[in-house]
Structure 1
């Protein structure tokens, strides 16, 4: 690593990449039920801001140590625009979208819609990052969009009814797809811990500003919100903190598209939590989820 352009040459470790991917699926698949539990004590905007602030607290010791290293300071200074853009697009905006949607959607449905992330990773990669598309990938995109239409434009019983809150999740996956390409293009040369810590160094203060005018801190110290607070801390420290390191590391070990394919397993985990929580899953939702996953499989198989 030089002071001008710190670069880490990532070695290909497929087994490690798969292990990290499974860990991501387990934790991120559980994030939808954690959002649901957090909403029992906090309104959506506080759940969104709180998870980012707790993630920042998790990374504070790492940031303090990294700030004393000249090569990291140079790397961050050279990439601060990309870090800020990635923090806002990949963390701040989706956090608020998922929290608002989580107040109105089943956690299993939110998890199913989250499977669109690799689809938008590919579409935006082709549109803005000069990535080539193959015929099979185009077919996968069409199937993924068809599955998402079932989830967004039909109610649970099968009647046509636009679900505006499901559209919020779709918009969040667009942000994830763009952010995956941004990280792959501009931040993949940074060590995973460095890039992730500094992403939250930008995202955390933005979230804190949104919490300051609210009664968030009064709710934090209210013992009646103990379980909701525990869910929110877990969401921030594990879901937004540690797993973000894993995600960036997977991209270094493989590719942005492989990392985004974690959403194969996320709907399964989310569906399991939904069933355990007593949510009713209807045939149209299974159909939409299945079509989406077939589309994502075709995209990655290509």
Structure 2
């Protein structure tokens, strides 16, 4: 004999997923302008590694407490390869790609290209993880890729020219798509705080080792870099730290594809910051953004 679950649970979980999705869009949509501000004082490789180190510092109290719990230690020991892979693919590599691209692209354009993440979540889900693809979703993928080509083949001045830095963002979204599927397949059974904290337990030291040979500390103590340091710390603690917990929780509450659909809203927030910062967006770039978002809408319809 079975009983139906309480009706309240059916309403609370989707609402929580949407609230977390809204917070993700606001913070991650602001991350591109934070990268831009961080790059004023720090070179791209220090911005990439620094945000991960700040995220690791944020998670240290949680890691210390979790390390004393035998159930967590067993879970991490059994899933350490997935945690390492997810940390590198979902955080280390994209952080360096976005930092390098951010030194040469408008923050609003980078935010628009970031919207390709759910497309690659779907593509890799079908090709690598055996998830079925519908005709409408394939059409959405093709539209999204067409929009991205417009953005990749038009430079920041709006002229027709291959934009290699835009391609770096596309590569980062491929990493995000693969990582979303990895989390959904191998890590979704873990509590969001546990999986996220241990992702950075693997990713953070890698970033720290890349910072040690640089002049990062001397830049940090320079008072004229305070605003850039604050932007970098915000990027690490909130963008890479707290929001990663939220993202993993949304994957658990809904699905990997629903979580990746946060990129519907990220370009809007990024575009708002770009306009406020005086960035110029050309008609062809607006067209590329619109086509990308139309493709994502078809994928999730």
Which residue does 1:37 correspond to in 2? 37
Is residue 33–residue 274 contact of structure 1 (8 Å, CA) maintained in 2?
A: yes
State whether residues 106 and 279 of structure 1, in contact with CA within 8 Å, keep that contact through their aligned partners in structure 2.
yes
Q: Which residue of the partner structure matches residue 240 of structure 2?
A: 240
Looking at structure 1, the residues matched to 205 and 258 of structure 2 have their Cα atoms a distance apart, in angstroms, of 30
In the TM superposition, residue 154 of structure 1 has moved relative to its aligned partner by 1.8
Query: Deviations along 1:231-273, whole A, 9 cap, x unmatched?
Result: 0000000000000000000000000000000000000000000
RMSD, matched Cα: 1.1
**C-alpha distance after superposition, 1:205-236 (max 9, x if no partner):** 00000000000011111111000000000000
Shift of 1:85: 0.3
Asked if the contact 1:29–1:265 (Cα under 8 Å) also holds between the matched residues in 2, the reply is yes
Question: 1:22 offset after TM fit, Å?
Answer: 0.4
What residue is the counterpart of 2:199 in the other structure?
Answer: 199
- How far 1:158 sits from its partner (Å)? 4.7
Partner of 2:287: 287
TM-score (structure 1 length as normaliser): 0.95
TM-score by length of 2: 0.96
Q: 1:40 to 1:159 in 2, by over 3 A?
A: closer
**TM-aligned CA deviation for residue 56 of structure 1:** 0.2
CA distance in 2, matches of 1:208, 1:157: 36
Q: Retained in 2: the 8 A contact 1:46–1:211?
A: yes
Tell me how far apart the structure 1 counterparts of residues 93 and 145 of structure 2 sit (CA, whole Å).
Answer: 22
| 1:48 counterpart residue number | 48
The number of aligned residues is 292
Structure 2, unaligned runs of 5 or more: 1-8
What corresponds to 1:6 in structure 2? none
User: How far is 1:160 from its partner?
Assistant: 2.3
Q: SS where residue 161 of structure 1 aligns? A: coil
Show the counterpart of 1:92. 92
Distance 1:225 1:153 in 2: 34
